[in-house]
Amino acid sequence: MDNPNKRLDIPDVAEPRPNFVSIGRFDGPQRTCRRHQHVTWEIVLYTAGTGTAYIGDRPVRFEPGVVICMPPHVPHAEVSRGGYGNFHTHVRSLPWRTDAFPVVPARDGQALRQLTELLHQEYALRRPGWERVTEALLEAQLAYLERHWPESAPDPAADLRRRIEAQSALPGFDVAALLGQGEVCAGHLIRLFRQRYGCTPRAFDRRLRLRRAQRLLAAGYPVKVAAAELGFADSAYFSRWFRAGTGMAPSDWRAASPRRSGA
């Protein structure tokens, strides 16, 4: 029979880290918010006024009821001629895919504002049990937002990769021309691309061009012709570029590659 007084060595289990960090409020009229950034996501619910938020290098118009989720480590600012008000909630993560920063239009505005006001009140008063209450209110707030952030959300890193693959061989192509054209600012898009593919967009483009150069040389193209095909006006510069990427001179690569025959 087991001893009822026996001590059971049960390992401590760490409590899950709360997602909610803090919440603030501008009642207005707030006309500007200087450029700044956070280590957390910032969910901004606009409650009054109209204006423009600048997330990285992208402007986004706002009005009452609109929600913008500012990504971590991305500088942002706000400007409003007549002044604006908002709630700004800081959270560690969002429950849906966050490759881009979500902009949620003014829907379910009243319910979402009531939840956010309760969240702000609990955080401000710090009554007993406020941590559990704020976490529950945040979960409900995120559920309302997720309703308008579909599973088929854009994947800007994959989209950029497809565009680089499609345009890399075009004369005069420059990766910089593609950055900042979509839903994500250039700096954030470069970080997303590096996280997904392990290199910058420019390095990926260089890899594609090197592979094309290798194929041309392996097919027997002279070095000058391969250089011209890749947009290099100077074959000597092409040779240096090729050696830096492969460790071989293009002439050596051409000589070492088996030629394709017509047989």
What are the residue ranges spanned by the domains of the chain?
20-146, 156-256
pLDDT tops 90 at residue 196: no
**Structure confidence at residue 263 (pLDDT):** 31
Q: What is the pLDDT of residues 62-82, one digit of tens each?
A: 999 888 888 888 899 999 999
Q: What average pLDDT is seen over the chain? A: 83
Domains 20-146 and 156-256 share a fold: no
**Structure confidence at residue 109 (pLDDT):** 66
- For domain 156-256, the CATH architecture is Orthogonal Bundle (1.10)
Angle of CA points 201, 183, 150, to nearest 5°: 115
Q: Dihedrals φ, ψ of 124, to 5°?
A: -70, -40
- Distance of alpha carbon 33 from alpha carbon 77, whole angstroms: 5
Name the CATH superfamily housing domain 20-146. Regulatory protein AraC (2.60.120.280)
Span 118-141, average pLDDT: 93
pLDDT tops 50 at residue 157: yes
Residues 6+ apart with CB under 8 A from 63: 46, 49, 50, 106
In the chain, alpha helices (H) = 109-125, 130-146, 156-167, 186-197, 201-218, 223-229, 235-246, 250-256
For 91, the enclosing helix (H) or strand (E) is: strand 76-91
- Distance of alpha carbon 196 from alpha carbon 30, whole angstroms: 38
pLDDT band at 154 (very low <50, low <70, confident <90, very high): low
Q: What is the pLDDT of residues 2-39, one digit of tens each?
A: 444 444 344 444 455 789 999 999 987 889 999 999 99
Q: Contact at 8 Å (CB) between 178 and 164? A: yes
pLDDT tops 70 at residue 180: no
